[in-house]
Structure 1
Amino acid sequence: MRDRPSADIWRRTRPRRRGLVIVVLLIMAIGSVFAVDAIRRHIEGEADLVGDRTFYRIPDPLPEGEPGEIVRLEEIDSAPLGSTAWRVIYHTRDLAGSDVAASAVVVVPDIPAPARGRAVIAWGHPTTGAATQCAPSLDVDPFQFIEGLHEFLLEGYAVVAADYPGLGMAGASSYLLGVPESNSVLDAVRAAHDIDAAKIGTDVILWGHSQGGQAVLFAAERADGYAPELTLRGVAVAAPAADLTELMSDDIVNVSGVTIASYAIPAYEAAYAERYGTAELTAILTPSGAAATPKMADMCLLSQNKEIHAIADPLIGHYLTSDPATTEPWKTLLEENSAGSSPIRVPVFVGQGLADELVKPAATEDYVTLLCRQDTRVSFHRYPSVNHGLAAYAALPDMLGWLAAVSAGEAPPSTCR
């Protein structure tokens, strides 16, 4: 009698086991495909970099061009499986309104575009550094840090990822300077629109992490005036560097704050020297901080982290003479480059990890409160145990649901009461 139940159980479970085996084999096959694709992209990416050295060298002085006008374009052989991608150099504007060149990556899925053209996800990347060589587009795999890229391509979106001025293209750094960063994000979309094969429309959704959060929030505030031909549908951010005064006060007591300041101070010095004078701007540095800043500012965060720590760790507590958030002219400059000076009239998604020690949860809570006071429709999501580096990935499932709603012209739920 005991054999029958065993046989029955075997007959009931065998199809499940067979199904499980099939699923496992499919996962292995898919994993193998992505592994092979990753190897292919690495090999082809190395080959791309050989040509990039000449691609990024443009005439000096730069021939005049309108914002978003393409200077140079090349297809990227190492595009992700099922997509086509390009590197593009284009015209944008710096803080003073001068014409400068910037670089970006454009990726589109290999599926037919809708009649109205593809909607665009304009990506704002987190801090990679402030020196020219730290541009994401110069990486062997220029796609690996675009958080959500594969999901967006599967949904049919085009993805446009700006480097920001001073990254990729030689020139003054725009690190944490809201206007030139946001100009480059919007002008990258304009440039992508002029790539005939990309078949891009006018609908745009902005998506950024950390420094990129600041860039896309500024772009959302300024889009109507700067790029009125684009139709902004929404802006999504993860752990955004929205309030620079809080960011600096929170972080200057640790290695992250020293690193951020070492990137920001030279950028602000170049941008505001005419307004304040170099001596007044650099007076906030201690002698040891002044000596170390050029070295740190020339290092890339992801590839030279060990070297940065070796310089920055001994400077903790000895890098600045005072808190820039309370010391002029830095207080004014940080406020000018903080998001929130103009209301955002499209839906906003905000994701924040509660274990974030760089962009503190309280700072993001304060920014969301400001958005609510400005009558912005905000979808705010908190993620327990998530740190700064994983904030965008943690937010992605919720962001994709929000994205579907705003792309369809629907009003997503709002946190504001």
Structure 2
Amino acid sequence: MVIVVLVLGIAYAAFPFAPVVGIWAYDQVAPSAGPPEKVASAELNGSEPGSVLQATTLPLVTRKWEGRGLQAARVVYRSTSGDDMSPTIVSGSVFVPKGDAPAGGWPVVSLGHATLGIDTPCAPSLDSGLLGFLRYVNVFTGMGYAVALADFQGLGAKGIHPYSDSRTAALNMIDAVRALRHTFPDVSDRWVAFGDSQGAGASWAADEQAKDYAPELKLLGALAASPPADMTGIVQKAQDGTLTSEQRGVIQAIIESLARLHPDLNRDDFRTAGAKHYWNVLTDCRPANAYARSQAVDGVGPRDFAPKTPAAADRLRGLLEDWALPQKPLSEPLYVYYGGKDPFIDAEWTTAAIQRACALGGSVTIKYDPDGGHNPSDALDAIQWMTDRFEGKPAKNDC
């Protein structure tokens, strides 16, 4: 029961931005923790996706109560851009329980985190509490799993974060499993993806990509809680002036991320003077800026992000269509939770994405709550579904 209660608290409310409770630069000078050290068991001699460039201990994590039963490392590793399959360098954190591994090694959960920001400092691996995810790492390691927690491209390591690009985040999640296996011994090749909100899109996409991208790993299934599978519809809502207050933060982050990726995309084609006034505050994930950010969210209205021209709307819609799921058939069974009253992601968007995944031949277990919001009311069903995958039981197919 303790496990269930803790998992229920997973940071769904962090979408689009959760307050960053600390930064790695501060952690490194904390007097009680000592400096990070190289992980002796890490293999640093590869050049393929998932190979590790750097692996250092996380003393501030392992000295916390939740981290005392862990072996933990911050890793910088090679991955791949989902847009053009070019090589990238990303970061994350990896964990194994202390003690002897079971026969076959520790089975793996690759966690996909909710939105924490779009700037480099907004990364779990740079924070002593993993930006709230340490408690979930503690839960899963307590259940006997090794855990990989990707920061996602552009967070924690140099680069641009492609916000809402689930395919790129998925490749980061898959390569985090590889990096985990290169960092600690006795880790199994059997794994599941488990994501919420932004990370749910990554988990779903990891299910699609795993068969071809990482055939040496044995994906057993993926769980996606409130996935932003297809955010194309947010453009029409911006045009109609029907964005919820939560969706205003989402579309602002999407526009800013896309403008960084595509320098010819003019931010002013998608914002009023009022939105421009608050723009930089809205994307600032620093904890000291939390109050100002909340004021900025209150200061923008449902029409402040409307595309100025039909051409601008078509451009934004097309870019989001390129990222929409599904991209290809699922590799293994998928579990999807979504709520009918989610203020961030319209339920019909998720319904349509699930229908397309089913049409491609996928196996999808659907947990739809017509009165639910962005947070599921409980995680009992999801945890049991995940356990069943490791036990080799068949998954219910609601397609």
Quickly name the TM-score band, shorter chain normalised.
0.7 to 0.9
Change (3 A) 1:343 1:278: same
Superposed displacement of residue 170, structure 1: 2.6
Unpaired runs of 5+ residues, structure 2, are 3-20, 37-44
Question: TM-score, normalising length from structure 1?
Answer: 0.76
Per-residue Cα deviation, 1:118-148 (whole angstroms, up to 9, x for no partner): 2211111111111112112222311732674
Per-residue Cα deviation, 1:62-113 (whole angstroms, up to 9, x for no partner): x994321212111223232322211111122233444332111112112322
Aligned to 1:263: 253
Aligned to 2:50: 68
Aligned to 1:359: 345
Superposed displacement of residue 386, structure 1: 4.2
Change (3 A) 1:325 1:334: farther
Per-residue Cα deviation, 1:189-235 (whole angstroms, up to 9, x for no partner): 111110134x2121120111111111122222112222222211101
Q: Which runs of 4+ in 1 moved over 6 A?
A: 323-326
Task: Give the conservation status (yes or no) of the 8 Å contact 2:235–2:316.
Answer: no
Aligned to 2:76: 89
Task: Give the conservation status (yes or no) of the 8 Å contact 2:210–2:331.
Answer: no
2:368 to 377, 382, 389: 382
2:299 aligned with 1:309: no
Amino acid at match of 2:392: G
Aligned to 2:320: 334
3-state DSSP of counterpart to 1:351: strand
Q: Which has the higher contact order (CA 8 A, sep 6+)?
A: 2
Alignment of 1:403-414 (within 5 A): 403-414=386-397
What is the root-mean-square deviation in Å for CA atoms of aligned residues? 3.3
Per-residue Cα deviation, 1:343-389 (whole angstroms, up to 9, x for no partner): 1131111122344221233333333333332232211123465432x
Unpaired runs of 5+ residues, structure 1, are 1-26, 28-41, 56-62
Aligned to 2:12: none
Using the alignment, how far apart are the partners of 2:311 and 2:212 within structure 1? 29
Amino acid at match of 1:293: W
2:190 aligned with 1:203: yes
Task: Give the conservation status (yes or no) of the 8 Å contact 2:95–2:180.
Answer: no
Change (3 A) 1:121 1:325: farther
Amino acid at match of 2:260: A
Aligned to 1:235: 222
Task: Give the conservation status (yes or no) of the 8 Å contact 1:90–1:102.
Answer: yes
Change (3 A) 1:216 1:282: farther
Aligned to 1:221: 208
3-state DSSP of counterpart to 2:88: strand
Alignment of 1:96-115 (within 5 A): 96-115=84-103
Per-residue Cα deviation, 1:307-366 (whole angstroms, up to 9, x for no partner): 223223332134223399992111111111111121113111112234422123333333
Per-residue Cα deviation, 1:263-294 (whole angstroms, up to 9, x for no partner): 22222123334xxx334x75233344345433
Aligned to 1:171: 159
Superposed displacement of residue 46, structure 1: 9.6
Task: Give the conservation status (yes or no) of the 8 Å contact 1:132–1:166.
Answer: yes
Amino acid at match of 2:146: A
User: How many residues of Structure 1 are paired with residues of Structure 2 in the alignment?
Assistant: 360
Question: TM-score, normalising length from structure 2?
Answer: 0.79
